[in-house]
Structures are given as C-alpha cells and as structure tokens.
C-alpha cells in the first residue's frame, strides 16, 4: 500500500514509537503523578520529559504551560470553551477545520457569543486587515489555522497575532498541519494559545495532542477531577498544567509521542522539502491531464484535486483499490470547500509523509490518469458528496 494520507494521520510510525509505548506499559505502567513508588515516579518522568520536549520545540522554557490533550480537537475545545464568556465576540476564518468551526458555531447558536467568519482572498490567504475589520470592541478571541488541511497554504499568523496583541484579544492558532513540519514560535507570533496533534507531523500515536497556553492567559477548565495535587481541596487547582489536566494521562501515547518527536524534529526540514517536491511533481503532472482540476497552489506540502465526472470519494475508493491511500470528501473543512466551489463533490487530497518517494508520486499520477481516461470514455456523471 502506498500511503498518501499523512495530513490525517502519519503512517507508518517509526519503530521507536512502538518500542517506547510497549516499554512504558511493560516497565513503568503505573499512574504518573499519583503515587510515590518507583513505578509511578518513572511514569511521571516519561510524561514530564515529553512535556519539556514540546515546550522546547515551541521555543518556551516553562513546560508547565504545555497541557496534554487527546488530540488537536480536544486541545482546541479546551482553548475555546475555556476562554470565551457569555456576551463575547469571536472571529475565525472560512478555512478552519470543524474542530474550530463547530464549537464556535454551537456557542453562537446558543446565544452565548456572537461570531464572525472571515473569508480568504483569491489566493487562499487570510489577511490581517480583513480580520481587523471583523473585530468589535467585544472581540475576545480570534482563532485561525496555521495551514489549511485542504489548500496547504501557510498563513501569516504573526501579522494576525500582532493585531490581536494591539487590540487586546486572545489569539488561538491551530497547528494541526504544521507541527513537525514547520518551526512553531507561538510567543513570537503573539499567540495566546496553540493547539497541536501528536499523531500527524510529530509521528506519535493516535490519541495524543497538546495545548500551549501563554503565561498571562488563564483558561476555565473543561473538566475537573483528580490531579494528584492539592487533593485536600474540593476545587480544581489553579496552577498549570494541573488546572487543565484531570484524570489519568495517556502514558503509552505520551511515551510514543516523545519517541516520534525525536525522529520528526531531526528530519523536519528534509521531510518538509521532500513533501513539497513530491507535491510539485504531482501537481505539474496532474495539471497536464485532461479532466483533472488542481486546487492547491504551487509550493504546498499537500495536494487537492478532482477528476471531472468522478466524485472525490469515488476517486479515493478507486485509488484504494489500486493500492494507494488518499482521502476524499470534505476533510472536515466545509468552509474551504464553499470557497473552492466543491461543497457538493469534495476533493481528493494527497499528503506525502516522511517516507514517501518519487515512485509513490509517479504511481499516484499514473492511477489518476487511468481514472481520468475511464471517466472520459464512459461519460460518467458527477456524484454529489453528501453534506449532511
């Protein structure tokens, strides 16, 4: 199987990830931070080592500001629900994943907040001046993606961060598509919070993620419970990370994430250049095929396209039968597809990973060419992608 769906989850995982997870369960599978015996202390060291590595990756010295989450969605929900209050106004963009759009939209529908969604320009960029026009005196939060999971366009988060700093608004960045691929410097960008996954570019296992929270930001916890600290109190501790971490942490997942990070960060620049090169190769080849429309601009590290006459999910299924794993549909980002005009059909997304090769790219193009010829010969009608 040629795996080209790394924007969803990286695969295959490095062997050291599996080894670290097995070792954590076999040698120190106790509850970290709960007991004073040696197994619990060893488990706690695994957790804190990964926390410190994440902080270092973000250019931060205070690791207590890094909170473990189940995934990016969990981290984003912690940030959104923990920062917004009744009567606040929030700003987000049309490029967002549903992990941002849905919690904000639900809060807006309930009447708790008001919400403005900023569209991109013709090149798929979110401009700081458009964000500023959307802001009001009640704007408390601006939330935006660092890179669209459909277009692959990196956004100027530093410009928006400077705007938020000047206007006194909190700034949340979704780094789901850039953690492990591009340098992340949230404090320099003016971020208040940054959410990231462990299972994508950082090569960790499923069910891992993190939220970084700036030192001057206090979030209301989404959940309360045992933290192993201040246990005499019936109230949630205020110090970080305990304020936002309740219950038993995912020890094997965190151990695997730490191992994956070592590989990902050691190869980050080369892996990103490889993904960009492969996407450029595929993009140029696909653009030459009759009946194939490419949506991703030059220079992106993923590629989205459609074959005329074949809905994206049908094309993805056909590619799967040919031994190539890609993703069709809406990619949980309906706003981007409204922008592209593909809300009814979705798009096929190809996302190379650290082990992807030029032969993988050539085989993908050849398979798409066969599908395009087949659609042209049979005169297939487009099949609508269900939006509900």
Rg (CA), the chain: 22
Distance, first Cα to last Cα, the chain = 31
Please report the pLDDT score of residue 274 as a whole number.
Answer: 97
Please report the pLDDT score of residue 388 as a whole number.
Answer: 33
Q: Indicate if the alpha-carbon torsion angle 327, 330, 332, 336 is positive or negative.
A: positive
Residue 335's region, left for phi above 0, alpha for psi from -120 to 50, else beta, is: alpha
Decide: pTM greater than 0.85.
yes
How many degrees, rounded to 5, is the angle at CA 236 between CA 231 and CA 238? 105
Residue 291's region, left for phi above 0, alpha for psi from -120 to 50, else beta, is: left
Digit-by-digit pLDDT tens for the chain (388 residues) are 999 999 999 999 999 999 999 999 998 878 887 778 888 889 999 999 999 999 999 999 999 999 999 999 999 999 999 999 999 999 999 999 999 999 999 999 999 999 999 999 999 999 999 999 999 999 999 999 999 999 999 999 999 999 999 999 999 999 999 999 999 999 999 999 999 999 999 999 999 999 999 999 999 998 888 887 888 888 888 889 999 999 899 999 999 999 999 999 999 999 999 999 999 999 999 999 999 999 999 999 999 999 999 999 999 999 999 999 999 999 999 999 999 999 999 999 999 999 999 999 999 999 999 999 988 765 443 333 333 3
Residue 205's region, left for phi above 0, alpha for psi from -120 to 50, else beta, is: beta
Return the closest-CA partner of residue 93 out of 122, 140, 127.
127
| Strand-strand pairing, 292-294 and 209-213 | unpaired
Cβ atoms of 265 and 184 within 8 Å: the answer is: no
């Amino acid at each position: 199987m040629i795996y080209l769906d790394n924007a969803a989850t990286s695969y295959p995982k490095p062997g050291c990830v599996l080894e670290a997870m097995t070792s954590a369960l076999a040698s120190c599978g106790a509850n970290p931070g709960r007991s004073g015996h040696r197994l619990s202390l060893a488990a706690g060291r695994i957790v804190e080592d990964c926390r410190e590595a994440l902080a270092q990756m973000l250019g931060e010295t205070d690791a207590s500001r890094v909170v473990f989450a189940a995934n990016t969605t969990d981290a984003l929900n912690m940030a959104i629900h923990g920062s917004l209050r009744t009567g606040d106004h929030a700003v987000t963009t049309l490029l967002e994943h549903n992990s941002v759009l849905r919690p904000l939209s639900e809060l807006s529908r309930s009447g708790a907040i008001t919400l403005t969604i900023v569209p991109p320009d013709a090149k798929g960029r979110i401009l700081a001046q458009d964000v500023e026009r959307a802001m009001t005196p009640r704007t408390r939060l601006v939330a935006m993606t660092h890179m669209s999971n459909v277009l692959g366009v990196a956004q100027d988060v530093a410009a928006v961060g400077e705007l938020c700093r000047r206007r006194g608004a909190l700034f949340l960045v979704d780094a789901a598509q850039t953690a492990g691929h591009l340098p992340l410097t949230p404090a320099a960008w003016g971020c208040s919070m940054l959410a990231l996954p462990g299972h994508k570019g950082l090569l960790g296992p499923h069910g891992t993620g993190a939220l970084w929270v700036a030192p001057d930001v206090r979030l209301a916890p989404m959940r309360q419970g045992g933290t192993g600290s201040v246990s005499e109190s019936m109230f949630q501790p205020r110090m970080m990370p305990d304020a936002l971490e309740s219950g038993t942490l995912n020890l094997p997942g965190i151990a695997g994430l730490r191992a994956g990070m070592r590989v990902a960060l050691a190869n980050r620049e080369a892996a990103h250049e490889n993904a960009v090169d492969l996407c450029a190769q595929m993009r140029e080849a696909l653009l030459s095929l009759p009946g194939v429309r490419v949506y991703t601009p030059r220079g992106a590290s993923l590629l989205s396209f459609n074959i005329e006459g074949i809905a994206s999910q049908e094309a993805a299924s056909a590619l799967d039968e040919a031994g190539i794993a890609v993703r069709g549909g809406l990619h949980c980002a309906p706003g981007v597809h409204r922008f592209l005009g593909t809300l009814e059909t979705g798009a096929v997304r190809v996302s190379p990973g650290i082990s992807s090769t030029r032969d993988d790219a050539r085989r993908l193009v050849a398979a798409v060419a066969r599908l395009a010829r087949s659609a042209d010969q049979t005169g297939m009608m487009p099949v609508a992608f269900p939006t509900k």
